Structure 1
């Protein structure tokens, strides 16, 4: 997915920018970047973070950064920030999202004799395309509005200008945006967890399509929010950091609620409840506390030397990293009936290996409960599962095996408790060698979050969404 952080301060902002951006490292693995503006202009740096961490890449060059305002990004796609010279002035830009009509926008630009630079892999940078759309208009506000109307998918962005920072949430609010204040500075972030240790108080959650302008003295609305919102439900289930809030709703609380909802639907007798680290832990705690069954850690994660396994480009490497980071605790496994909670099951490859390890360590039973329904539809908006083919999703692959046709009766399979839904789950359970498998009902997931369903994007599970 990716995430960003921006700050305008009355004193040098570099340390805050560095740590604020770093607090988004759980959202992406490809590129990290920062840009600051000072009396000499813009200073920018971008680094590859696929096999390292943001902090380690930027720490040695922090002394080169000086300024009262800056933006930073953790990107799972293109190198950012970009610095753009235009009739609107020179500005830096970062974006997060997915532009589904990128090729069409590029073709139209070529027809007008526009041009783009290329990234190292020969692909036009989507952030540059967003900047091009903005620069066609006579003001930043008009340009952002025009870009959001032209982009199909989602695109939230920060613009660092000579007077302050424009922060724009994507048109349907699929990604979050949060404004924070302290006495000497104003900041904007994806994750509210970036604020407390930097001394910021959360003061405002911009709505879908809203644009705000930040200075060191505060913020003001430049474009109003739209009426329709479909924020990604998976932010609470998986992507988000436990300490963060979206729409004033805490991630860890939602995960606890999800686990409790799973427990309400379950009468399985087990000895120990566990979470697949790390995102499954909150769900498992909710389950264990509701059932009053002991919570334990039969798997522990080892992170000091292993890179993040969020979304490496090579599936085999992703599975290897995930496997090597989870170490079984045999004394908590042997002779036990274990029930694990996790955020979701995407491909199932690594889970199948983990289940086998548990049985090899002497587990009597291994049950799995997932905090969301079966993933059937690839994400069209935030790059989650977008780099994988449809049949990489174990739910979709299983449907094809049952039906002999990839797209047949998808909505029936997505309906919790239907005969086709139960047949799909039984088949997945058998593939993963689990004792039992149950998925969250979509209605229970929506209730756990606490927003009306029409305000949430649930496309991955039921195929519904606005465009």
Structure 2
């Protein structure tokens, strides 16, 4: 995924954009960038994050932005951004969150119009540059934004930095959040509300699906009214969101407590010593489970962060798996002879969870019962660039289904049967997953319980990964 932070202020806002963007580091793994209007020109910097923290990479760039009162920053899981463009609308910079699923089609259309692309992202067209070009085709920024929302299949949340202020735009169906904060000097725009508190901004509003506002130091002006249909990504609460953040008025950590409690409420486990969580996102689910079951919560795993900040920094997958293994240290004071319930947010490829179970077993654990805070991931995400591991062939569930069915061709009817938690095929799938990862028992959250735990109507949540249910157009 990705996250962004922008600021329009009556004073120098460079520090706010720098630290506000850094507060989104959990949402991106590859690249980051900032752009400022310093009163005379646009100044931009972009760095890779695959070998260092955001702060270390960008701190040396801050002096060249000094005095700027308008700025945007982004931490991205993919392409280099911000993109700065000169057009008939003037000069502007763009950052995006989302996925342009029809990028080849749109690229072809623009090339036929003899429009050129300057930036590349991994030898491919940079999606953010494509979005910036689409914006520039409008007679004004409103029309350009509407063109993007109409043309892009997938999702596109963005900020557009101009000489006068920032256009903040939530994607058409609100799959990712956009929040506005306010202090005595101006306004900030963020993906995560948790970025506001220590920078002394008070959250004042959240954009609706497809809504666009123009933010200046004096306030916000609605440019495009919100649409009626909303499907915010459920994984914002299950996994990606920061524990202290709020979306749609619902706190992330509180929702995770409810997820864990829902799992406990359906669990018939009797002889268990305590609940534990895979750091970081599994911890909230584990606490909720322990509270509901009235059993202790213990840290069977401790996350070592000083020199292993992220499990996904290296590009090579084998190295990524090794880093993930090195980060988590079992605490033998709690593992020896223990019968534990271990909670995690999800199972994507299954390899890390299998390694964690092996590590706990080697540390003396007697029984390891795995509980997953969401249903099995059967469909790859087509709306957000969560992870390359979420391709159809990499998903653990799809590998298991292929093994059970003896084929790589599945009808939608068959996949829906595997998604049904009350079906025989679902039970067979979960059992084979259990044996593969080496758990004593394995249970997944039911989708209806997950929806209830989050607290929004199902039609307002994107649940595509689990049941292929979503707005596609």
TM-score, normalised via structure 1 length: 0.98
In the TM superposition, 1:265-276 aligns within 5 A as 265-268=266-269, 269-276=271-278
1:8–1:186 Cα contact (<8 Å) kept? yes
Displacement of 1:131: 0.8
- Of the candidates 440, 452, 456, which is equivalent to residue 457 of structure 2? 452
Q: Is the 8 A contact 1:366 1:435 kept in 2?
A: yes
Aligned-partner Cα distance in 1 for 2:291–2:221 = 43
Give a deviation string over 1:120-167, Cα, whole Å, max 9, x none: 632111111001111111100110011110000001000000110000
1:301 corresponds to which residue?
Answer: 303
Q: CA RMSD in A?
A: 1.1
| Contact 1:28–1:310 (8 Å) recurs in 2 | no
Among candidates 324, 330, 333, match of residue 331 of structure 1: 333
1:146 aligns with 2:147: yes
The offset of 1:82, in angstroms, is 1.2
- The alpha-carbon deviation at position 51 of structure 1 amounts to 1.8
Give the Cα–Cα distance (whole angstroms) in 2 for the partners of residues 311 and 389 of structure 1: 19
Q: Which residue of 2 is the match for residue 253 of structure 1?
A: 254
> Among residues 450, 453, 469, which one is paired with 1:464 in the alignment?
469
How many residue pairs match? The answer is 467
- Checking the alignment, whether the CA contact within 8 Å between 2:237 and 2:255 is kept in structure 1 is yes
Instruction: Tell whether 2:431 aligns with 1:399.
Output: no
Contact 2:348/2:389 (8 A) holds in 1: no
Paired residue for 1:351, among 343, 350, 353? Answer: 353
Alignment correspondent of 2:23: 23
Deviation of 1:180 after TM superposition, in Å, equals 0.7
5+ long unaligned stretches in structure 1: none
Separation in 2 of the partners of 1:58 and 1:46?
A: 8
Unaligned segments of structure 2, at least 5 residues: none
> 2:121, 2:111 → 1: CA distance?
20
Residues 311, 337 of structure 1: CA spacing in aligned structure 2 closer, same or farther, 3 A cutoff? same
Which of 424, 430, 434 in structure 1 is aligned with 2:435? 430
Deviation at 1:7, TM superposition (A): 0.4
Shift, 1:248, TM fit: 1.1
In structure 1, C-alpha distance between the alignment counterparts of 2:159 and 2:205, rounded to whole Å: 16
Q: CA deviation at 1:307?
A: 4.0
Task: Determine if contact 2:277/2:285 at 8 Å carries over to the other structure.
Answer: yes
2:285 alignment partner in structure 1: 283
User: Which runs of structure 1 show a deviation greater than 3 angstroms over 4 or more consecutive aligned residues?
Assistant: 310-313, 385-389
Q: Secondary structure at the match of 1:127?
A: helix
Q: Which moved more, 1:137-146 or 1:302-311?
A: 302-311
Change (3 A) 1:87 1:149: same
Distance in 2, Cα, partners of 1:190 & 1:426: 38
Q: Is the 8 A contact 1:378 1:384 kept in 2?
A: no
Q: Does 1:10 align with 2:2?
A: no
